[in-house]
Structure 1
Amino acid sequence: MLAFNGHQGETWAGWTMWLLLPLLLLITPGSSYVITGPEEVSDLEQGSLTVQCHYDPGWETYRKWWCRGAEWKYCEILVTTTETEWEVKKDRVSIKDDQRSCVFTVTMEKLRQEDTDVYWCGIERNGAADLGIQVKVTIGPVAARCHYGPRWEAYMKQWCGEADESSCTILVQTTGSKQAKKNRAYIDQEKRTFTVTLQN
């Protein structure tokens, strides 16, 4: 049996603290050593948003969750995996864990402006502090989302601000590119859909 006294004991305690420091870093919320994800994501009302969070090998069978709220200790868990790769959906939010790739994906559907908030990608740990990383989600306003057929990709898209088509004023229109902006109106064309946003 080893015995320590005096300065020897202090030295042992000091070395113990240095050895534990890397382990403490691993369980700090937001630590890049275990789980990583985007700092910020954004999308528009009525659409859907996807967030992918990666984790280190060894955490495959742990439960993953998506939580809402700026304060880590009191955030509201919206959806949690079931330790498998099955997708879990609750209300407008779903989560799926790809354990072979060590990444879990969160999808938020039918987005609203009030969904703008701070969220967390997290890993549940029984008997210890959960792991998590913060993700800021911003949802912008949409004036309209218009769909068109495959023959109309190269045609000009435009947004008119009056009820009468024959006399309305064009607020914004594309000019060969996929995006255009004029004053407060912004138009974005992608996947046979163009979205008009009215910005503050």
Structure 2
Amino acid sequence: MTWEALHLPLVLLLFASGSWAQVEENEVVWAVQQQVVSVKCPSTPPAGEYENKIWCKETKPGYCLKLVTSTRPQVMAQNPPHFIWDNPSAGFFIVIVTEITKKSSGTYWCGIDRGPKESIYILKNISLVVTSIFWAALL
């Protein structure tokens, strides 16, 4: 039996409740292959100069491969299939991922890029779970 079939009741329960599994700044996001996913990442309005926002995929504990980084507010940062839209005064930024595949599954960080030494201030951890079953159609 496939992973999707074993976990379908849990997925249906999550959708029926209208909520996602979320604990503080950790979030589980379910996605379907070939669909688009957006993630809302927290951010505090800047007191000084703009802080670059980042979306990266964890490669091993404590290490993350940078996928896209914003460099200016209210300008779409692009490294297809990864995009960031940041409006600092809103208190959050949006990450959009297109072309979702099974390989997209994994742990991601959204955060603030702290410079050339590649240090990242993590704002949120996201576990992306990709399935080939379009379970939302079953509701």
TM-score by length of 1: 0.50
Please state how far the C-alpha of 1:75 moved relative to its aligned partner: 1.2
Please state how far the C-alpha of 1:74 moved relative to its aligned partner: 2.4
What is the alpha-carbon distance in structure 2 between the residues aligned to residue 115 and residue 99 of structure 1? 27
Instruction: Show structure 1 runs of 4+ deviating over 6 A.
Output: none
Match of 1:134 among 110, 125, 133: 125
Match of 1:40 among 10, 23, 28: 28
Match of 2:58 among 69, 82, 89: 69
Mapping of residues 20-35 of structure 1, within 5 Å? none
2:103 corresponds to 1:114: yes
Aligned pair count reads 113
Deviations 1:150-194 (A, max 9, x none): xxxxxxxxxxxxxxxxxxxxxxxxxxxxxxxxxxxx56168xxxx
2:13 counterpart residue number: none
Deviations 1:79-116 (A, max 9, x none): 00013220011121111111120211101112111100
**Cα 1:127–1:139, aligned 2, differ >3 Å: closer, same or farther?**
closer
Q: Aligned residues: percent identity?
A: 23
Please state how far the C-alpha of 1:70 moved relative to its aligned partner: 4.8
1:188 aligned counterpart, secondary structure:
helix
Contact 1:47–1:110 at 8 Å: present in 2 too? yes
By relative contact order (CA 8 Å, sep 6+), the higher-ranking structure is 2
Amino acid in the other structure paired with 2:43? Y
Mapping of residues 1-200 of structure 1, within 5 Å? 37-58=25-46, 61-71=50-60, 73-126=62-115, 129-132=119-122, 133-142=124-133, 186=135, 188=137
What is the alpha-carbon distance in structure 2 between the residues aligned to residue 109 and residue 136 of structure 1? 16
Bigger proportion of residues as strand: 2
2:137 aligned counterpart, secondary structure:
strand
**Cα 1:37–1:109, aligned 2, differ >3 Å: closer, same or farther?**
farther
Which is higher, the Rg of structure 1 or of structure 2?
Answer: 1
* Deviation larger for 79-88 or 54-63: 54-63
